Amino acid sequence: MRIAAVLLASTLALGACAPVFTQRGYLPDPELVSNIDVGKDTKTSIQKRLGDPSTQATFSEDGWYYISSTEKAVAFFTPTTLNRKILAVYFDKDGKVTDLKHYSLQDGNVVAFESRTTPTRGKELTFLQQLFNSRPGQPGGVDQGERNPGGGQGGGQPG
């Protein structure tokens, strides 16, 4: 009986870690894309033929993007993008197609985010220090003579 319970528990635990694959977005039929006539087709004809784009250019209306991606997620870990395909349709100021481009995951740029923090002036109090040092009218236990750089109530010098 114990062996059966252990086997059942381990099977459920392993099953919970099975990867989940997610397909997002869509790419229009390649045959429809190949029939686009650069210089003649317009935004209206593209929308009728391919449907609404996944997104549009942010600062101008000269680009439509049809995006499809496949992601793999395991348990609570950050999902991994396995595949991404993008069809970019570019327009001129009159709304006519000027170019078509196909992009993939390899064409993307990895953005490195800065993880440093900006130092702030003043004391950093723990939760318990804030709780035991607080006095009515003075949140965070700021001393009367100390300047509160964040503004707000308490402890600041009259201005």
- The predicted pLDDT at position 110 comes to 58
**pTM surpassing 0.85?**
no
Nearest residue to 35 via CA among 25, 54, 48: 48
- The predicted pLDDT at position 146 comes to 52
The yes-or-no verdict on residue 85 having pLDDT over 60 is yes
The yes-or-no verdict on residue 115 having pLDDT over 80 is no
Q: Is the Cβ–Cβ distance between 25 and 85 less than 8 Å?
A: no
The yes-or-no verdict on residue 126 having pLDDT over 90 is no
Average pLDDT over residues 95-117: 80
For residues 23 and 70, what is the distance between their CA atoms, to the nearest angstrom?
Answer: 5
Q: Is the Cβ–Cβ distance between 97 and 39 less than 8 Å?
A: yes
- The predicted pLDDT at position 72 comes to 92
Average pLDDT over residues 27-35: 90
| CA 88 to each of CA 29, 30, 101, 130: distance values in angstroms, whole numbers, following the listed order | 14, 13, 5, 54
**Residue 48 structure tokens:** 């009728």
Nearest residue to 100 via CA among 88, 84, 108, 86: 88
Question: What is the DSSP secondary structure assignment for residue 16, as one 8-state letter?
Answer: H
**Residue 133 structure tokens:** 């040092």
- Indicate the average pLDDT of the chain: 80
**52 SS3 class:** coil
- Point out the least confidently predicted range of 24-38, 44-58, 95-109, 131-145: 131-145
Question: What is the DSSP secondary structure assignment for residue 41, as one 8-state letter?
Answer: -
The yes-or-no verdict on residue 139 having pLDDT over 60 is no
Average pLDDT over residues 96-115: 80
Nearest residue to 138 via CA among 153, 151, 159, 121: 153
Average pLDDT over residues 27-33: 90
